[in-house]
Structure 1
Amino acid sequence: MLDLTQLRSFVAVEQMGSFTLAAERLGLGQSTVSQHIQRLEAELGRKLLARDTHRVVLTADGEALLGHARQILSIEGDVRQLFAGNSLRGSLRLGVSEDFVTSQLPDVLEEFVRSHPSVDLELTVALSGTLYEMQDNGDLDLVLAKRRLGDVRGTLVYREPLVWLARDPERIRRLESPLPLIAFPVPSVTRAIALEALRRQQMPWRIVCTCGSLSGLTAAARAGMGVLVQPRSMAPAGLMEIAPGWLPALEDVEFVLVPRKGADQLLVKALSEDILAKVRGPRSETLHLP
């Protein structure tokens, strides 16, 4: 019989791409997680994990195991909840900023749904400013979004720098002014910061593409239409960071959790704790295999 603890470590390493981050997530030592993987590989007689240039990845045998491991852990969670006397129930309206959805949200939701299967989540994805407006109108119970430095609303999750991105920075630099800018519509936080920085440096600009979807903005940037501003850790593939010195420096942004007064505090607390425990800001990481 496969060991549930070993399977849990295996799934965590796959999700986090790192033994160190998986250990932090599980509240274990890195050596303990490494031992779990070694014992699981010994039990199955197969190598499950390997390392590429950036992160720990699954082998073909690891890919074959992953779906079954998740299913086993899901069944185990369902059984525990079935006999838990304090199982949370109800609905929670969660608002998440557009650029966060494709990065770390899937892992957070997977764990929360597994731990609280009787909670119904209503997910809204929008710009941070729009989410705050919706919450002020009573339409959202919990918001995970960006705030500007100096804003005191919410609980800080992490802080990171904004960067200028382009498919070919040198080609953009050779263009005659004004700077072609790709941006979210108002009330985007990143848009406001970028425009303020350009105005301070008195650099001419024009917005060549506006879209409320990050996938749309990314497509425009990959097509070479202009420059896009994003948090560094959320830079889309296919775009390069523009080196400092040519364009003005951008201030950092902070990702925060903001609960609504009057929302179900038990549900808000449970999801907030999951997010604070699992979401990680940008950091340098040395990858280690056991």
Structure 2
Amino acid sequence: MLREFQTFLAVCRWGTFTAAARHLGMTQSAVSDHIHRLEDFTGVQLFHRTGRSATLNAAGEALRPLAEEALQITDRMRTGHGAGQLRGSLRVGTITSVHNSLMARALVAFRRAHPAVTIRLIRREGPMAGDVEREEFDLAASVLPNLPLLRTIRWIPLFRKPFVLIAPAATCAGTWREAMAMHTFMGYDLSWSAGVQIDDFLSRMGVPLRDTIWVDYLDTMITLVASGVGVAIIPRTALGEFTGLVREFEFGADTFHREVGLLRRARPPNGGAIADAFIETLRDEVRREAFAEPLP
């Protein structure tokens, strides 16, 4: 009955047979057949069917934790034979700033250790807690959210990086404040948590903004600064090809940080052994990340 349990839990998560079929790659009639077989097996009806929606009734609510437990036990049986034997899939959302660096390295290392796991890595900006709650992602690499997390979501800290001000290497400024006064400032949009952090910092420091360019991506900011367009406040990062074209100014005792971590469900629906293994791989790679301070 494992397939039927999986289908049952999919309907629970996504609310309709049609949505469950789409996420599972099945037809709606196949989903209906699975639910009917499960109801025949348990001897009870599991859903209130009203129009297009399917809402759990009391019997369905009672079965849900048992179905989750059955799949967790099966997952442990399937993955309990040591490293390299994990099988299944993992969907990971990630912000741009770690997509091509930390996440890419972790993906290579994880794939070598667990070649039977299929991974889907999706770059996305903005809040991802809702995506994790809806199980579009098993994990999502994100900056620390500004808003309180949902009760069903856990925050797992990975690392933090200090913010620095970067300016063109040819600047005559002697301090970060002088650099801000002499050059056009390029800032993150305030819809981004980094933008809010930087805006709060400048307000506390009493630094007024004159000319401002709004830029959404870290790589773009570094390129523009190296080209002499202006200055920017960014999480400290390896400059690569722009080393020598960009000058860094630290904030000393006023330093503030960007924290990056993972969002995951508090109760993974299918055990979570694959996600656990990927998190450990990420933690190993964090130790190799430039300027990153690992977080417990």
TM-score when scaled to structure 1?
A: 0.56
Among candidates 246, 257, 268, match of residue 252 of structure 1: 257
Q: 1:86 to 1:124 in 2, by over 3 A?
A: closer
What is residue 213 of structure 2 aligned with on the other side?
209
Name the CA shift for 1:121/1:85 in 2 (closer, same or farther; >3 Å).
closer
Gaps of 5+ in 1: 1-80, 285-290
Distance in 1 (CA, whole Å) between partners of 2:237 and 2:231 is 17
Contact 2:128 2:140 in 1 (8 A): yes
Give the aligned partner of residue 154 of structure 1.
155
**Which of these residues, 105, 108, 115, is aligned with residue 110 of structure 1?**
108
**How far apart, CA to CA, are the structure 1 residues paired with 2:185 and 2:162?**
18
Which ranges of structure 2 fall in alignment gaps of 5 or more residues? Answer: 1-78
Question: SS of the counterpart of 1:91?
Answer: strand
Shift of 1:282: 5.2
Partner Cα separation in structure 2 for residue 176 and residue 141 of structure 1:
41
User: Residue 176 and residue 158 in structure 1: after superposition, are their counterparts in 2 closer, same or farther (change >3 A)?
Assistant: closer
Contact 1:160 1:282 survives alignment (8 Å): no
CA distance in 1, matches of 2:133, 2:183: 35
SS of residue matched to 2:197 = helix
Query: Equivalent of 1:242, from 239, 249, 272?
Result: 249
Shift of 1:204: 1.5
| Aligned 1:38-117 pairs, distance under 5 A | 87-117=85-115
- How far, CA to CA, are the matches of 2:192 and 2:229 in structure 1? 20
Matched ranges for 1:222-233 at <5 A: 222-233=226-237
Q: What percentage of aligned pairs have identical amino acids?
A: 22
CA contact (8 A) 2:131 2:137 kept: yes
RMSD, aligned α-carbons: 3.7
The amino acid of 2:277's aligned partner reads A
TM-aligned CA distance change 1:161 to 1:86, over 3 Å: closer
Give the superposition deviation at 1:233: 3.8
Equivalent residue, structure 2, for 1:145? 142
Q: Which amino acid aligns with 1:167?
A: P
Return closer, same or farther for 1:86/1:216 CA change in 2, 3 Å cut-off. closer
Residue in 1 that maps onto 2:286 = 279
Quote the offset at 1:166 in angstroms: 1.6
Deviations 1:103-138 (A, max 9, x none): 3233211111112222222212233x4334533454
User: Which AA in structure 2 matches 1:266?
Assistant: A
Q: 1:120 aligns with which of 118, 121, 134?
A: 118
Q: Is the 8 A contact 2:180 2:231 kept in 1?
A: no
Distance in 2 (alpha carbons) for counterparts of 1:125 and 1:87: 27
Secondary structure at 2:127's aligned position in 1?
helix
Q: Deviations over 1:173-204 (max 9, x none)?
A: 66785863323334322211111111122322
Superposed CA offset, 1:117-167 (max 9, x none):
22222212233x433453345422102222279988522222231111122
Which amino acid is the alignment partner of residue 195 of structure 1? D
TM-score, normalised to structure 2, is 0.55
Q: Report matched runs for 1:263-278 at 5 Å.
A: 264=270, 265-278=272-285
Does structure 2 conserve the Cα–Cα contact (< 8 Å) formed by 1:184 and 1:217?
Answer: no
The equivalent position to 1:189 in structure 2, one of 179, 193, 206, is 193
State the number of aligned residues: 200
